[in-house]
Structure 1
Amino acid sequence: MSADRPTPRPHRDPAVDALRAYAVAGVVLGHWLVTGLVLDAGGRLTQASPLTAMPALAPASWALQTLGLFFFTAGYASARSAARHTGPGWLTRRLRRLILPAVALLGTGAAVLLAAIVAGVPDGTLSVALRLAISPLWFLAPLLALVLLTGPLRAAVRRWGALRCAGTATAVVGAVDLATWLLPAGAGLPPVTVLAAWAVPYLLGLAHADGRWGGRRAALRLVAIGAAGLAALVTLGYPVSAVGVPGAGRSNLDPPSLLAVALAVSQVGLGLLARPALTTLLRRPLPRRLVHEVNRHAVRVYLWHQPVLVGVAVLAAHTGATLPGLHTRPDEPAWLLARLGWLPLLAVVLAVLVHRRGSVDRSAECAPPPPRVYADPRLRAARRPATLRTRRPQEVIAVRDSDPPSRGRADRQSR
């Protein structure tokens, strides 16, 4: 199948829902593993990164820096939403799902900050907590811009193809990277790459929603392009880590570089290759439920995961104990093992907080249907109530206008 040849797509793609859940989980897990909070003798928390002392961990960031998949699934959701809901209403709903959780975070954060000041929390701790709490908000700017541009971008993809559009955005990122190498240190450049870099996976998501880039050959093509780009860029001297490392002179994420683009393309290709396996997996109840819950609360999970880490660390610091993996310096593998032990507690706190913010959360990119939509169709008849399985003419006639396949059955029964 040609990469840019549209084919009919179902109303929902369970594999895209699974990729969105993986993207959110990857960002959360990555931040929790690379954010060290060190408690000094004065009772203040300072930030450190295990990647500084253990650079061998840098390749692991390629699996946990999943923002490319996040923007890919956002593009898919925007295109599918625009196709189902014509007019400006769909755009208003999508913007509300992004903006309202951010406003709630800022309001709650302001109240907590005021309470911490009154409680006498050290200024250094407050500075670190504030920086980490608001750091996830940066993604709203490029995401909102891309959502607003969904209409023109879809038209461009349909006219010129996803590869040409993505190639143009990639060229912009490459030009800024080159200028960064040539200009003296400290020379400011407009942050155009924040939009251009993440436009690449977003454009691929728009194309996939129209039935393009759905075949195995197209997915392998994306993997090959991304992998070749990663190998070439690392050879040219780009940092190996997909995230920023304190003290390093160059970052692949602030602003996003060509390596971030190549990584995003590789992840999208691998995700599309895994679609059949993901679809089969989601027929099982537990994975289906987990994906459903993460998708329902995707934006809130993304926005609140860093405040949860800071809050747990600050509260634990008031006990007077220096806890391994939470307050110790991340300079040895033992710290990483200790931090892994804290992950279940952080996950439980985050889940409770997200659910308390609203039992019916509408902040996901595209609210998924009830979990049973992924079930094996052969099981649906067995789960249907007996009253609906009874072949009574009046019941079939009542639904024949909304269920075209049932019209023939209804006509036969009524004769």
Structure 2
Amino acid sequence: MRQRDRFIDGLRALAILGVVGGHWLVGALVATPAGDLRIDSPLRHLEWLQPATWFLQMLGLFFLVGGYTSAQGLRRARAAGETDTGWVRRRLWRIGRPVLAATVILAVALPPLRMLGVIGAGTAWNTAVLFVQPLWFMAVYAVITALTPRLLRLDRHAGLRAVLAFAAAVAVVDLLRFGPAAEPAAVGYLSVLPAWCFAYQLGIAWSAGRVDRRVAAGLLVGGLTVFVVLIAVLDYPVSIVSVPGAVRSNSNPPSLLVPALAAIQAGAALLLRDRIERFLHRPRVWAAVTVLNLSAMSVFCWHHVALVGVSELARRLGTLPGLGDVPADAGWVLSRLAWYPVLALVLAGIVALVRRYEHPVPAALPRAAAIREQNI
């Protein structure tokens, strides 16, 4: 049985924790006089909080790990005689299965909850909105995963030049968006695939042995340089995620700040690999990382639902700090952070119920095969 790579699992767990922790921090649900919850964000009220998104937005690491593991998996599949089409189909089903299950469950559950008066119309609508919003990420990830055979071929022919080409493509789109002869805003969506392919292609290059400490240091320094220039000189938005009401966004569509941050995170992680692996050899840490990896997609799909559930209960008890009040000051931020253990506990309960859809194992399947099915 193939052993799990602690470093890879650790980076994936860190990326998922960043997504969940970030969404719980920047996503506020404010109680309304009508007995509902409306969506708000502290980023709209608190400009000093925006730099926190640099540390919480870790999707670059997720795509880095995705490129690495997909390249390794496709090579093993080819060696075992599986076709590229078969591998892509199996991989996409594995990604999409928990998303499809969550979509069906919510589609079935929300209407009767609304009709029975358990939740208001606004709360039901915002639950659906918060669930659907992050799925852009899964759609992009699925498309890039389907391109893995071609990206492997690109790596063989161009190596790290392919990684730089994706960053250059995003820079060209940014020039069209924000340059002297600015094009319509829709042109920015041409950057979606190259912006996220940057980290994925880097992961493929890493799996091929092209990323050593010298390259990692170059990623860190180069990414930091571009990042600082974009914000300090070219006046890019500070927040890496969208701020409600802002004219420009670094994430929708992605700007050059996205691959720059991915380069920083990848370079730093690779340079700190030895320390990270030592930390991951602590039994309790490794146990937590393993559990999170085996339920990563369930955590991703349901973390917003956990937030809505806790916020709705708090609304019925009265407006509690950090759960239902307007996110307009530092007190709200501290209160929301204090709610994290409760949110985590509720999310863990939901994941325990739905995790079967992430790793369904037929009763007749041998235990060893079941373990392999869960080994990403």
Q: CA deviation at 1:223?
A: 0.2
CA displacement 1:249-272 (0-9 Å, x = unmatched): 111111111001100111011111
Match of 1:193 in 2: 191
RMSD over equivalenced CA pairs, Å: 2.1
Match of 1:377 in 2: none
Match of 1:14 in 2: 6
Q: Give the secondary structure class of the aligned counterpart of 1:85.
A: helix
Equivalent pair of 1:75/1:202 in contact (CA under 8 Å): yes
Q: Which residue among 209, 216, 226 is the counterpart of 1:219? A: 216
Q: Which residue among 234, 252, 264 is the counterpart of 2:262? A: 264
Match of 2:365 in 1: none
What amino acid maps onto 1:61 in structure 2?
T
Q: CA deviation at 1:367?
A: 4.2
What amino acid maps onto 2:323 in structure 1?
L
Match of 2:126 in 1: 128
Equivalent pair of 2:67/2:203 in contact (CA under 8 Å): yes
Equivalent pair of 1:20/1:70 in contact (CA under 8 Å): yes
CA displacement 1:321-346 (0-9 Å, x = unmatched): 11110100000111011101111011
1:186 to 1:211, Cα distance in 2 relative to 1, 3 A: closer
Structure 1 stretches lacking a partner, 5+ long: 1-9, 370-415
Match of 1:312 in 2: 310
Q: Give the secondary structure class of the aligned counterpart of 2:355.
A: coil
Q: Does 2:97 correspond to 1:100?
A: yes
Match of 1:37 in 2: 29
CA displacement 1:11-54 (0-9 Å, x = unmatched): 75321210110000001000000001111222221111111221
CA displacement 1:358-401 (0-9 Å, x = unmatched): 359439xx9448xxxxxxxxxxxxxxxxxxxxxxxxxxxxxxxx
1:171 to 1:352, Cα distance in 2 relative to 1, 3 A: same
1:156 to 1:187, Cα distance in 2 relative to 1, 3 A: closer
Match of 1:80 in 2: 72
What amino acid maps onto 1:13 in structure 2?
D
Q: Give the secondary structure class of the aligned counterpart of 1:358.
A: helix
CA displacement 1:149-186 (0-9 Å, x = unmatched): 11111111122112x11222122212222222256696
- Decide which moves more: 295-304 or 113-122: 113-122
Match of 1:245 in 2: 243
Q: Which residue among 165, 168, 191 is the counterpart of 1:171? A: 168
Equivalent pair of 2:110/2:124 in contact (CA under 8 Å): yes
Equivalent pair of 2:97/2:358 in contact (CA under 8 Å): no
Q: Give the secondary structure class of the aligned counterpart of 1:191.
A: helix
Q: Give the secondary structure class of the aligned counterpart of 1:32.
A: helix
Question: CA–CA distance in 2 between the matches of 1:362 and 1:275?
Answer: 29
Q: CA deviation at 1:104?
A: 0.6
Q: Which residue among 19, 22, 30 is the counterpart of 1:27? A: 19
Equivalent pair of 2:188/2:253 in contact (CA under 8 Å): no
What amino acid maps onto 1:40 in structure 2?
T
Equivalent pair of 1:292/1:368 in contact (CA under 8 Å): no
Runs of 4+ with deviation above 6 angstroms? 183-186
Match of 2:144 in 1: 146
Q: Give the secondary structure class of the aligned counterpart of 2:186.
A: coil
Matches within 5 A, 1:388-403: none
Question: CA–CA distance in 1 between the matches of 2:37 and 2:246?
Answer: 21
Larger Rg: 1
Equivalent pair of 2:166/2:198 in contact (CA under 8 Å): yes
Match of 1:394 in 2: none
Question: CA–CA distance in 2 between the matches of 1:203 and 1:11?
Answer: 24
Question: CA–CA distance in 2 between the matches of 1:192 and 1:113?
Answer: 35
Matches within 5 A, 1:367-406: 367-368=374-375
Equivalent pair of 1:27/1:64 in contact (CA under 8 Å): yes
Q: Which residue among 257, 278, 282 is the counterpart of 2:276? A: 278
Q: CA deviation at 1:142?
A: 1.4
Q: Does 2:296 correspond to 1:298?
A: yes
Fraction of identical pairs, as percent: 41
Equivalent pair of 1:295/1:367 in contact (CA under 8 Å): no
